[in-house]
Amino acid sequence: MALLIALINIVGWGLIPLTVKGSPANQIAGMGIGASVTALIIYLFTRPAFDASVWAIAFIAGALWTIGQLGQFISYTRIGVSGTIPLSAGFQLVGNSLIGVLIFGEWPTSTAKIIGFIALALVVIGIVLSSKSDDNGSGNATMKNIMFLLATTIGFWIYSSSPKLIGKAINPSATGLDYIFPEMLGVLVGTTLYVLFSHNTHIYHEKVTLHNCLAGIEFGVGTLFYLFSVKQNGVTNAFIYSQLCSVISTFGGIWFLHESKSKREMIYVTVGLIFIIGGSVLTGFAK
């Protein structure tokens, strides 16, 4: 059951880069609306208990998620989906794994740490391989663009770790149903603030923004099952499982968004994703 929960999360998040259209502002605004509406429907049907502290942490985490997701959307235009996703997955993986191990005490035994860090190394190798391109490739993975993506990934680190913080320090009995609504409210407020401060309010009248609400629904459903996965698998393993969405997004970017790859680049991508899958599965043994 724990792996099935993780799989739904993987599919939900993996489809997002293949669904969004328009400018980064169109994408982030539509996602904010779709995600918050999805969370509201879930909340109305489940009516979980209200906890002010849980809501506050979840709201802040959702707002900070906006930074990470906006960084991804901007990077799609600079590096492409199939170039951005592996890099972003690697940055998220390393940061969240270290947070889980160093702050939350996951991988507690020496054996677990050895297995976990071997798995982490495999995934990082996979990330490097899958993001490798020919000198004349279509991507633009310059150091400036890579550092921009890394800096904005901090928002993802905080967002992904918040369920464990809530469970450890605030309310151990809280579940994903208890904080998905305030989290998505944070997403909505964060995306709205970006649109306002970037003077892009006109996008709310554009059809492409409404289309991107579908990506918000995918994100909302994927997030719900990510929160369940954190409870079942732990923050480190749940996060690494979730990064298998990079397989869907990377090949989807190549096949459905027609991002060009040479024969050699395709080999790198395929071998790299094999390493990612292998490392992700291996983390399940780090207990």
**Length reported for the chain:** 287
Give the Cα separation of 106 and 236 in Å (integer). 7
Quote the tokens at residue 98.
């270290």
112 near 256, Cβ under 8 Å?
no
Report the half-sphere exposure of 103 (CA within 13 A, side-chain side): 17
Positions in the chain short of pLDDT 50: 136-138
Whole-number pLDDT of residue 247: 84
Q: What pLDDT is recorded for position 54?
A: 93
Distance CA 90, CA 272 (A): 11
pLDDT at 137: 45
Do the beta carbons of residue 27 and residue 203 sit within 8 Å?
no
The tokens for 67 are: 């930074």
Strand, coil or helix: 102: helix
Among the listed residues 161, 176, 180, the one whose alpha carbon sits nearest the alpha carbon of residue 38: 180
Which parts of 198-262 fold into alpha helices (H)? 207-211, 213-233, 235-242, 245-255
How far is CA 149 from each of CA 83, 132, 141, rounded to the nearest angstrom?
A: 11, 16, 10
What single-letter DSSP state applies at residue 201? G
Residue 243: count other Cβ atoms within 10 Å of its Cβ.
Answer: 26
Q: Round to whole Å and give the CA distance between 140 and 76.
A: 10
pLDDT digits (tens, 9 = 90+) for 220-239: 999 889 888 877 887 667 77
Q: What pLDDT is stored for residue 136 in this prediction? A: 47
